[in-house]
């Protein structure tokens, strides 16, 4: 039975029916034993997932749907600014329409995903996520998915082809070079302040910086994930000093402030930009 179960592993989670499992060589007795020992998880009457599926995938399958939108994207490592419960795609033509549990949001629409898939495809999830988020957050999500290689330029085009025309203005704001969602959010904020922003700029003697504004202001977006040790902090301070010696000003923004206190960040950046680049005697 172990060899049969190993064949059931798929690149993407699949909801297996009793009939399909029997077709793979599982007898009724073997199927019952697999459920009993946890190798298979019964999610609905006659529907099963192979053990190890993510809890969000399991919950979506229990409701008869597929994991969708920001929930699927977050699971794939894509930046999502706000997560408002579990997002699940449901077939609008389904004979039974389950009531969404608390903290679960159903998206009633057809899906091009295979009938047995427990998740929607990435392009479909991105198109839905654009509609579920504020514009700047949607741009950050698209940047993240593109940077991670989950979609290419053609895939981005397909995302916008699935969206109403009013969303297409966002296409020109995307930049796959953004390595973090916070970088995208800060970049868009700086653009709204009239700043000329370059991404991932390499400066001799300093190294690569997240954002360079108007040729003189370095903006770094720091998070605990990549700046959690004293060695990293020491390196950051030495880089800042090297930048200062070369005529640059550096500001380091905390990811949590960018995400949860954007007006404070905007106000600080606006004051800095109004003040302008420091002169030789400042």
- Distance, in Å, from the CA atom of 182 to the CA atom of 16, rounded to the nearest integer, reads 39
For the chain, percent of residues with pLDDT exceeding 70: 90
User: What is the predicted pLDDT for the residue at 279?
Assistant: 59
Which DSSP string do the residues of 110-168 spell out, in sequence order?
---S-TTBSB--HHHHHHHHHHHS-HHHHHHHHHHHHHTTSS-HHHHHHHHHTS-GGGG
User: What is the predicted pLDDT for the residue at 138?
Assistant: 98
Q: How many CB atoms lie within 10 A of CB 76?
A: 14
As a whole number, mean pLDDT of residues 68-92 equals: 93
For the chain, percent of residues with pLDDT exceeding 90: 78
- Distance, in Å, from the CA atom of 144 to the CA atom of 150, rounded to the nearest integer, reads 9
- Distance, in Å, from the CA atom of 152 to the CA atom of 176, rounded to the nearest integer, reads 9
Residue 221 structure tokens: 């977006």
* % helix, strand, coil for the chain, step of 5: 45, 20, 35
The residue whose two tokens read 């990811």 is: 255
Among 10-14, 148-152, 222-226, name the most confident range: 148-152
Using pLDDT thresholds of 50, 70 and 90, give the confidence band for residue 5. very low
Among 89-93, 217-221, 274-278, name the most confident range: 217-221
> What are the residue ranges spanned by the domains of the chain?
1-53, 54-176, 177-276
The closest alpha carbon to 2, from 27, 35, 46, 34, belongs to 34
Using pLDDT thresholds of 50, 70 and 90, give the confidence band for residue 7. very low
Q: How many residues does the chain have?
A: 282
- Classified as helix, coil or strand, 237 is helix
What b-and-e string marks burial along 158-177, b requiring 16 or more CB atoms within 10 Å of the CB? bbbebbeeebeebeebbbbe
User: How do strand 104-108 and strand 86-90 relate by DSSP bridges?
Assistant: parallel
Using pLDDT thresholds of 50, 70 and 90, give the confidence band for residue 11. low
Q: Average pLDDT over the chain, rounded to whole? A: 90
Residue 27 structure tokens: 């007898």
- Distance, in Å, from the CA atom of 131 to the CA atom of 150, rounded to the nearest integer, reads 19
Among 43-52, 180-189, 231-240, name the most confident range: 180-189
The residue whose two tokens read 């977050």 is: 74
| Torsion sign (Cα): 252, 258, 259, 263 | positive
User: What is the predicted pLDDT for the residue at 20?
Assistant: 92
CA atoms within 13 A on the CB side of 124: 19
User: What is the predicted pLDDT for the residue at 261?
Assistant: 95
As a whole number, mean pLDDT of residues 60-65 equals: 93
**Do 75 and 129 meet the contact criterion of CB atoms below 8 Å apart?**
no
Architecture of domain 177-276: 3-Layer(aba) Sandwich (3.40)
As a whole number, mean pLDDT of residues 42-66 equals: 93
Q: Give tens-digit pLDDT for 133-170.
A: 999 999 999 999 999 999 999 999 999 999 999 999 99
User: What is the predicted pLDDT for the residue at 1?
Assistant: 45
User: What is the predicted pLDDT for the residue at 215?
Assistant: 95
Helix axes 181-192, 135-147, angle to 10 degrees: 130
- Classified as helix, coil or strand, 262 is helix
CA distances from 243 to 91, 200, 274 (A): 55, 15, 20
Q: Give tens-digit pLDDT for 259-281.
A: 999 999 999 999 999 887 665 55
């Amino acid at each position: 039975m172990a060899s049969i179960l190993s064949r059931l592993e798929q690149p993407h989670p699949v909801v297996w029916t009793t009939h399909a499992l029997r077709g793979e060589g599982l007898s009724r007795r073997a199927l019952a034993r697999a459920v009993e020992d946890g190798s298979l998880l019964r999610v609905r009457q006659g529907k099963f997932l192979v053990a190890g599926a993510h809890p969000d995938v399991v919950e979506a399958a229990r409701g008869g749907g597929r994991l969708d939108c920001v929930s699927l994207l977050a699971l794939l490592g894509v930046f999502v600014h706000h997560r408002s419960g579990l997002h699940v795609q449901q077939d609008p033509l389904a004979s039974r329409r389950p009531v969404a549990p608390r903290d679960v949001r159903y998206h009633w629409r057809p899906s091009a995903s295979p009938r047995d898939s427990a998740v929607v495809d990435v392009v479909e999830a991105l198109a839905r996520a654009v509609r579920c988020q504020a514009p700047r957050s949607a741009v950050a999500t698209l940047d993240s998915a593109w940077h991670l290689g989950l979609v290419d330029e053609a895939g981005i085009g397909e995302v916008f082809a699935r969206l109403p025309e009013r969303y297409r203005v966002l296409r020109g704001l995307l930049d796959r070079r953004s390595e973090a969602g916070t970088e995208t959010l800060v970049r868009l904020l700086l653009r709204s302040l009239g700043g000329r922003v370059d991404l991932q700029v390499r400066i001799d003697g300093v190294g690569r910086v997240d954002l360079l504004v108007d040729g003189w202001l370095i903006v770094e977006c720091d998070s605990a994930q990549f700046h959690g040790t004293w060695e990293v902090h020491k390196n950051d301070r030495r880089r800042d000093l090297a930048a200062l010696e070369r005529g640059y000003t550096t500001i380091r923004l905390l990811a949590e402030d960018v995400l949860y206190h954007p007006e404070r960040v905007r106000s600080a950046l606006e004051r800095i930009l109004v003040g302008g680049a420091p002169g030789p005697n400042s």
